[in-house]
Amino acid sequence: MIKGREFPVPGRYAAGIAHRATDLRTHGATRAVMTPRRIIITGIGLVQAGVLTLVVFGAAAPAWVAVAVAVAGGAVVALAARLGRREGETEAALRLENNRLEIRCDVLRDSEARYREYSEAMADWFWETDSEHRFSWFSAQFDQILGLSSERLLGKQSWNVVSERMEINSEQWQAHIADLTALRPFRDFKYWLEDDLGRARWIKVSGIPRFAPDGSFDGYGGTGTDITAAVESAHRMNMLNRAVEQSPVSIFITDLAGAIEYVNSEFLRVTGYAADEVLGRNIRILKSDRTPPETYVALWGALSAGEKWDGELINRRKNGEIYWGLASILPIQNRDGEFTNYLAIEVDVTERKRNEARLAELVEELRRSNEDLEQFAYVASHDLRQPLRMISGYVALLQRHLADHLNDDTRTFFGLAIDGAKRLDRMIVDLLEYSRISRLSAPLEPIDLNGVLADSLHHLQIAIAEAGAEVTVAEGLPAVAGDRMELVRLFQNLIGNAIKYAAPDRPPRVEVGWRVTGHDWVLSVKDNGIGIPKDDLQRVFGIFQRLVTREQYEGTGIGLAVCRKIAEHHGGRIWVQSEVDVGSTFLVSFPRHDD
Type of residue found at 297: V
User: 362 and 275, same structural domain?
Assistant: no
Is residue 219 situated within a structural domain?
A: yes
User: 295 and 374, same structural domain?
Assistant: no
Is residue 571 situated within a structural domain?
A: yes
CATH number at residue 412: 1.10.287.130
Helices (H), 293-349: 293-304
Given 348, 375, 391, the domain boundary residue is 348
Q: Decide: 193 and 138 in contact? Cβ < 8 Å.
A: no
Is residue 139 situated within a structural domain?
A: yes
User: 132 and 104, same structural domain?
Assistant: no
User: 564 and 449, same structural domain?
Assistant: yes
- CA 544 vs CA 5, 368, 410, 560, 586: distances in Å: 99, 23, 30, 9, 19
User: 273 and 216, same structural domain?
Assistant: no
Write out the DSSP string of 254-306: EETT-BEEEE-HHHHHHH---HHHHTTSBGGGGB-S-S-HHHHHHHHHHHHTT
- CA 5 vs CA 127, 138, 139: distances in Å: 11, 9, 7
CATH number at residue 571: 3.30.565.10
User: 133 and 92, same structural domain?
Assistant: no
User: 455 and 586, same structural domain?
Assistant: yes
Nearest to 194 by CA among 129, 238, 257, 148: 148
Residue 6 confidence (pLDDT): 39
- Below-70 pLDDT ranges, the chain: 1-88, 111-122, 373-374, 376-386, 423, 427-428, 430-442, 543-557, 594-595
Three-state DSSP at 444 gives coil
Q: Decide: 572 and 590 in contact? Cβ < 8 Å.
A: yes
As a whole number of angstroms, the distance between CA 557 and CA 547 comes to: 8
Q: Which domain holds residue 305?
A: 247-348
Helix (H) or strand (E) holding 413: helix 408-436
Is residue 238 situated within a structural domain?
A: no
Residue 18 confidence (pLDDT): 41
User: 482 and 575, same structural domain?
Assistant: yes
Greatest Cα pair distance, the chain, in angstroms, is 216
Is residue 242 situated within a structural domain?
A: no
Long-range interactions of 457-462: CB distance < 8 A, separation 24+: 457/495, 459/488, 459/492, 460/492, 460/495, 460/496, 460/499
User: 334 and 389, same structural domain?
Assistant: no
In the chain, how many domains are there? 5
User: 135 and 218, same structural domain?
Assistant: yes
User: 307 and 295, same structural domain?
Assistant: yes
User: 206 and 159, same structural domain?
Assistant: yes
